[in-house]
Homo-oligomer: A and B are copies of this chain.
Amino acid sequence: MKKIPNINDVAKRAGVAPITVSRVNNSSGYTSEETRQRVETAIEALGYVPNTLARGLRSKRTNTLALVVTDITNPFFTLIARGVEDAASALGFTVIYCNTDESEAKEEKYINILVQKQVDGVLLVPACSNSKSVNFLHSNSIPIVLIDRSIPGYQADLVRCDSENGAYSLIRHLIKLGHDRIAIITGPRGISTSEDRVSGYLRALSDAGLEKLARVYYGTFTQTSGYELTVKALDVIPSPTALFGTNNFISIGILKALRDMDISVPDETAVVGFDDLPTSMVVDPFLTVAAQPAYEMGQKATELLVNRLNNKIPVEYQEIILPTVLIERKSSGPRRVPSQ
């Protein structure tokens, strides 16, 4: 196993100083065409690869970003991740991924590691509403862009969808179809997406004079929670004519519960949800959804972060809010259940 060549080996072979090799590598400063050629030949001959640890230690730049999501296994976050990766790669950055599973402790653990690794910036889907992680990054001068969720009372760069309007349009759609007893099954209290979707839901009911019929079920953003809360919601009499799941996993839990209870969708109960599944995964899309442009969110957030750490944008925090797209499908047919 022969020694791995370093910048000095290259310099010696090319008959120049190490700094000249550095300049060639980074296309910085002046180098004559001729010496550049000589250096490149030496690099080629030795199979030299610059050591980014040393570079980062000296230059305070690692060209590494981190993406902290709750669970990469959720197609919504997978797509965000892919958007991040593509944008980062195009800008010369690599990405470290972390899954917090909605756990504050895991989030803190990862954030600590990321500071140790001297990442240039962090893309964060906050697992909780407290700002400890964010503050810690801040105190280490690492810029952050929040994705998907905001942190109450905390000003930060943010890329998210318009959850409130997305929810509003889904409920409007149901109301137009004749539904009135519409239950919402959502995630935890205190998570902005969970709350904003409730707000949009309430506003739509209110606009239709149905505020008295509001039924809100808080839980977690999981299939199990969606399933259990559906059972609970259907236990109330008169039962809801429609259900709204505020993320993809909850919606699937809802559909599974209704199937297990032999309740036909949409004839007996209509269902709408947030987040679409990628077309590559579904043969016949069935669920009416407010789709979020996840890939684009990842891209935009990455570009914002890189602009931020290059000081290419105004010091004020940027908030990029993308619209959701209402996709009407079979799960939300006209109301068939008579009023009681």
Decide if A97 touches B117 in the complex (CB within 8 Å): no
The segment from A13-21, A33-41, A74-82, A212-220 found at the interface with B is: A74-82
A191 within 8 A of B: no
Decide if B281 touches A255 in the complex (CB within 8 Å): no
List of B residues within 8 angstroms of A140 by Cβ: 4, 49
Residue interface mask A58-83, B partner, CB < 8 A = 1:
00001010000001110100110110
**Chain B: minimal CB distance from A254 (Å):** 9
A207 within 8 A of B: no
Q: Which residue from chain B places its CB closest to the CB of A101 in the assembled complex?
A: B86
The segment from A108-116, A151-159, A170-178, A230-238 found at the interface with B is: A108-116
Decide if B252 touches A115 in the complex (CB within 8 Å): no
List of B residues within 8 angstroms of A116 by Cβ: 49-52
What are 25 A-B contacts with C-beta separation under 8 Å? A4-B140, A51-B118, A52-B117, A53-B57, A53-B118, A64-B96, A64-B117, A72-B82, A73-B79, A73-B82, A73-B280, A75-B75, A75-B78, A82-B99, A85-B97, A94-B96, A94-B98, A94-B117, A95-B97, A97-B97, A248-B281, A249-B280, A252-B282, A277-B281, A283-B286
CA distance A72 to B50 in the complex (A): 28
A262 within 8 A of B: no
Q: A252-B281, A255-B283 are in contact. Are A62 and B53 (CB under 8 A)?
A: yes
Contact of A96 among B73, B95, B277 (CB under 8 A): B95
Q: Which residue from chain B places its CB closest to the CB of A265 in the assembled complex?
A: B283
Q: A94-B113, A96-B95 are in contact. Are A259 and B283 (CB under 8 A)?
A: yes
Decide if B139 touches A47 in the complex (CB within 8 Å): yes
- Chain A residues numbered 3-43 whose CB sits less than 8 Å from any CB in chain B: 4
**Interface size bucket, A side?**
35 or more
Q: A252-B283, A280-B252 are in contact. Are A112 and B78 (CB under 8 A)?
A: no
**Chain B: minimal CB distance from A204 (Å):** 26
Decide if B47 touches A223 in the complex (CB within 8 Å): no
List of B residues within 8 angstroms of A281 by Cβ: 75, 248, 252, 277, 281
Decide if A54 touches B52 in the complex (CB within 8 Å): no
List of B residues within 8 angstroms of A330 by Cβ: none
CA distance A99 to B96 in the complex (A): 13
List of B residues within 8 angstroms of A141 by Cβ: 1, 4
CA distance A196 to B281 in the complex (A): 24
CA distance A277 to B252 in the complex (A): 13
CA distance A97 to B282 in the complex (A): 25
